[in-house]
Structure 1
Amino acid sequence: MSAAAGRSGVAPDDRRPTLREEQRLLTRSRLVEAGIALFAEKGYVATTVEDIAASARTSRATFYLHFESKLALLGFVGAQHETWAPATLNLMDGAGPVPRERVEAMVREGFRHWREHASLIGAFLQAEAVEVGLRERTLPHLHEVVETAFPRYLGQFAGADRDLARTEMVMLVLLTYRYMFYEFTSRPFPDDLDLQVRAMTDLVWRVVTARAGSLDAS
């Protein structure tokens, strides 16, 4: 413990935030809440920094003290969900054939997540279309997510076979999750959700088991 901490009796990391710090956190929280609400209501493209600041009852200048752009705010929100994809996809990870039940668990969780966050995910897809360089960063990031989520599955392959297995999984994730997004933004809730879950599970499971089966055939 430092001398200063010893005198105060409080460790540096345990000190209470100052009133100024609390106010700053409150302002940031209001900006984030306003951004999420406006992205859902108007979409990413139509929402401006001025809109967000006004909705948060603050100024444009104050917005820029917290975020350099509306894309930075969206990225801040997205970072709160960063662990979701690897953890969910990891349900399918394994050496050898993956049980169909685990694939179905992943698909069901994917549908749940995309239904719950459809408007926010829609804002990300809009941002990809208009923000220079964002799309180019998305695919490499997805490759990293797949590497994190499937260490045992990808560990079965080497060299070009590993590259192919990873690329297949990236494409599978993109196709699966983009379908889920369009499903939940085209209508409030699909009446035939169980049927769609079963169909999606079959498609994903066939790809995963076919790639794993190639090891036995080699």
Structure 2
Amino acid sequence: MPSLREAQKQLTRDRIVERALKLFTEKGYAATTIDEIAAAAGTTRVTFYAYYPSRYDLMRDFMARVNAVLDRENGPGLASTAPELVDVVRAGKLSGILDWLESRAALWPDFRPYLDVLDEAAAVDREVRALLKDWREEVISDLIRGMQLAGRFSEETHHVRGMLAFTQLNYISTLWTSRRFDPNRDEALGVLAESWYHLLCDED
């Protein structure tokens, strides 16, 4: 059980992240200053830097929160960061793919805003760009692992298949964030599931 001091530190960290997310969403990543974030969080610039020595450290926390929501393991060198996704691809069932996509779509309100900020930050910050690229490659590697375990498709096509599948999912979830197709989410997920099935599972 965390000590009172540790709990207070976590509350401060959470407050900084929440206010930063709101400001980045409203004003944009580049236009938001550290002073504005600190003031919105009810703290000081000095306190902000005690928790986050740089904007990059704040973005790393954003990414950690995305992984926590998605129940993805942190850390390079793991055999898989999301075993459930590997299993779904290996099984190769359209119904299983759709169920997995729907379970992730239910979490979009919790993690997609963080990813949107990370995408925007990546456009102006090389370190964040590398962070986001590594995360995307982790997701793609899980898709690849599922195909490998199933002995499906040639190795030469695995990465492009995984990349296309991830890009499709990212695009659909980005559209949802911008509220361009919220009423048609189920239809979009159905189409996406069929596309994933043909890309990752169907060799006929």
- Say if 1:114 and 1:181, in contact at 8 Å, map to a contact too: no
Q: What is the 5 A alignment of 1:124-163?
A: 124-148=118-142, 151-157=145-151, 161-163=154-156
Indicate which of 11, 26, 46 corresponds to 1:41: 26
Sequence identity (%): 21
Tell me the equivalent position of 2:188: 196
CA RMSD of aligned residues (A): 2.9
Return the offset for 1:91.
5.3
The number of residues matched between the two structures is 193
**Unpaired segments ≥5 residues, structure 2:** 73-81
Looking at structure 2, the residues matched to 120 and 48 of structure 1 have their Cα atoms a distance apart, in angstroms, of 17
Q: What is the 5 A alignment of 1:39-78?
A: 39-78=24-63
Looking at structure 1, the residues matched to 46 and 107 of structure 2 have their Cα atoms a distance apart, in angstroms, of 34
Looking at structure 2, the residues matched to 140 and 167 of structure 1 have their Cα atoms a distance apart, in angstroms, of 16
**TM (normalized to structure 1)?**
0.73
- Say if 1:71 and 1:127, in contact at 8 Å, map to a contact too: no
Tell me the equivalent position of 1:164: 157
3-state SS in 1 of match to 2:182: coil
Return the offset for 1:150.
5.3
Indicate which of 111, 114, 126 corresponds to 1:117: 111
Deviates more, 1:129-138 or 1:42-51: 129-138
3-state SS in 2 of match to 1:94: helix
Computing the radius of gyration from Cα coordinates, the structure with the larger value is 1
Looking at structure 1, the residues matched to 26 and 83 of structure 2 have their Cα atoms a distance apart, in angstroms, of 29
- Say if 2:34 and 2:45, in contact at 8 Å, map to a contact too: yes
Distance 1:25 1:135, change over 3 A: closer
**TM (normalized to structure 2)?**
0.78
